[in-house]
Amino acid sequence: MTLLFPFGLLLLLAIPVLIIIYIIKNKYKEKTVSSSYIWELSRKFLKKKNPLNSISNLLNLIMQCLCIAFLSFALADPVFNFQNGAENEVFILDASASMSTLNEDGISRFDEAKNKIEKIVDDAVDGTTFTLIVGDSNSRTICKQIQDKDIFHSFIDRVEIDMADSDLDGAISLAQSLASQGDGSHFSLFTDKEVETDDSLAIYQVGDTFTNYSIDDLQVSEIEDEEGAPQLLLEADVISYNGDTSLDVEFYIDDVSVGKVTVDAKENEPIIASLSLSNPEEKYSNYSSIKAKLLMEDYLSKDSEYILYNFNDFDTTNVLIVSYSPFYFESVFNALNNNGLKINYTTITPDIYSLYSGSIGYDLTIFDSYSPDQLPVDSAVWLCNTGSSIPHSGFYAQKEYTVDDPGIKATYAENISDPLYQELTKNLVKREITIKTYMRYTLNSRFTTILSYDNLPFIFAGRNEYDQRQIVFNFDLHNSNFPLLADFVILMRNCVAYSNPSILTEFNYKAHDIVTFSFPDTAISCEITAPSGKVDYLSPTDIQSYTLEEVGTYSIKVGLATGKEKMINLFSAFPSQEREPVSKGDDVYQMSINSQTKKAVRIFDAILPMVIVASAFLVTDWIIYSHEQF
């Protein structure tokens, strides 16, 4: 036992004061009697001067002294400690995606598990410690050996479902490390999974609803019917986890229903629900989104729809060609457009470009045999056969050289380990290029050499002093055989992809997948809005990664230096492994508890009710038995 406020014992000084009051308090009572009676009573009183002349008064004094002593002891705030009288509770909470399944009352399994934990905490004796381990994609210990119940409640209230696959193995490993260190005496697992265990681990299985149907994927393809008419084929992969049944799937294009399909599904066996749509004159080619939705009600709605967004609008590259003779660039861009690329190019003469300054509003600017006074600030740059040095370009022009027929043979450099070299030379045959006239340049180390001759760079790429993507050709295309080679078209395609990278290259995602963004030089901001409304920001430089932590549609807004914005929608699907209402595993979980582990010290300090009773008794006793005139 310990006293938290020993100064409360000063109240014991009231006991001698009480005794003095008993000694000096007046015993006479006013009463009208005959004079002979008064004399007889006075003579009897003088024979007995002791104020404690009766057993009742003595008992009364003793009880009041005891009440004062108890109140003094209570004010000192005594705490009674009982060794090994409380548990060191360790709670393992499954926070995987399946815990979002609702019960018949509309409460998620996760909230049901949290409610069970909080009830155990509220019912625990004082002195019990509480540790919380969360099992999700990143299993971790939230708090450790917390005694204050209110503080523990604040920790568990902040824990949320992680829309990812379960990692109970990691959570059990964390709990086992606590058990080995003697930091836990009782372990409990709260999950909706069917797991096996022994007496060392208490299992609280939550979830009493087992109906679920889901859509796992959605594909769109253009086909032709038997008569050769164009059609759009929509295919959704659906599955029933609740026995054999018929599933109704409705398809939407740009949020407008285009038809419903019914399929007979067998339990736990995927089946394709398909819908063919007549697509005359490519009616549906420019859709923004296609959605498949299950019309069956179940207890897990997050996996009952799948959305596929169209990204075609984000692959267009706007190019400005500054040249007196742009034939080769226009030809190659036309060829690339015929092969699926989207390149919108505009050609102007150097005289007209000289009127521009600063921002020009293009993704890529090509200077062909022309050296501008300054580079544009909002686009990637190609410099082809520039005759003089350009400020902040990162290289210097020295002299033009002309060689005799047939010219020099430039070859591709040996930069196999360089990622930029690999990107620009992808799929090339890499034949020699014959060049008759070229410029000699001196460049800094920020560039990667793609084509060279006698250790002189002929094509190089990298970042200029404005940190813009830049590709440099030190020769005029008209003075080489390069436009006649198959590598020319392939290299130009690679150069366009490098100069104006697609913000996204992958389009099928599930919760907790990592999205890789490649930002063009014109990007100045990137705002990402999650399905919950949470807003994140990325720095739009080079390549950035972002983890999809929620299920649903993410909206990405990329601001460009041209004043325009690119809007992209992504759908993050529910993880496949978490869709089954009751997941059965082969793992057997058990805890090896250290034999030296001691339980927590139970604390008892709830004396307030007794203080109230003692105070009431003292006041009542004083009023009834001791209230007399002095």
- Final residue belonging to a domain, choices 287, 310, 333: 310
pLDDT at residue 24, as a whole number: 65
DSSP labels for 200-217?
Answer: TSEEEE-------EEEEE
Say which CATH number the domain at 549 has.
Answer: 2.60.40.10
Q: How confident is the model at residue 483 (pLDDT cuts 50, 70, 90)?
A: very high
- Is residue 504 domain-resident? no
204-238: pLDDT as tens digits: 989 888 899 999 999 998 888 888 888 889 999 99
Number of domains in the chain: 5
Between 430 and 583, where is the model more confident? 430
pLDDT of 477 over the 90 cut: yes
Residue 281 CB neighbour total at 10 angstroms: 6
Fill in the DSSP letter of residue 363: S
Q: How confident is the model at residue 52 (pLDDT cuts 50, 70, 90)?
A: very low
Task: With beta carbons less than 8 A apart as the criterion, state whether 306 and 510 touch.
Answer: no
Q: Do 441 and 461 belong to one domain?
A: yes
Residue 557 CB neighbour total at 10 angstroms: 14
Torsion of CA 15, 18, 24, 28, to 10 degrees: -150
pLDDT of 167 over the 60 cut: yes
pLDDT of 528 over the 80 cut: yes
Fill in the DSSP letter of residue 108: B
Q: In what order do the strands lie in the sheet with 230-240?
A: 213-224, 230-240, 271-278
C-alpha distances in angstroms, 421 versus 244, 457, 470, 625? 55, 13, 13, 104
Full residue range of the structural domain in which residue 184 is found: 83-209+582-604
CA distance from start to end of the chain? 42
What pTM was computed for the model?
0.70
- Is residue 612 domain-resident? yes
Mean pLDDT of 89-111: 92
pLDDT at residue 630, as a whole number: 38
pLDDT at residue 158, as a whole number: 93
Quick one: tokens of 227?
A: 């008569």
- Euclidean distance between CA atoms 538 and 272, whole angstroms: 38
pLDDT of 118 over the 70 cut: yes
pLDDT of 588 over the 80 cut: no
The overall average pLDDT reported for the chain is: 84
432-455: pLDDT as tens digits: 999 999 999 988 778 999 999 988
Residue type, 262: T
Highest mean pLDDT among 74-83, 311-320, 412-421: 412-421
- Is residue 630 domain-resident? no
Q: Do 58 and 89 belong to one domain?
A: no
Highest mean pLDDT among 279-293, 420-434, 443-457, 509-523: 420-434
- Is residue 537 domain-resident? yes
Say which CATH number the domain at 476 has.
Answer: 3.40.50.880
Q: Do 374 and 445 belong to one domain?
A: yes
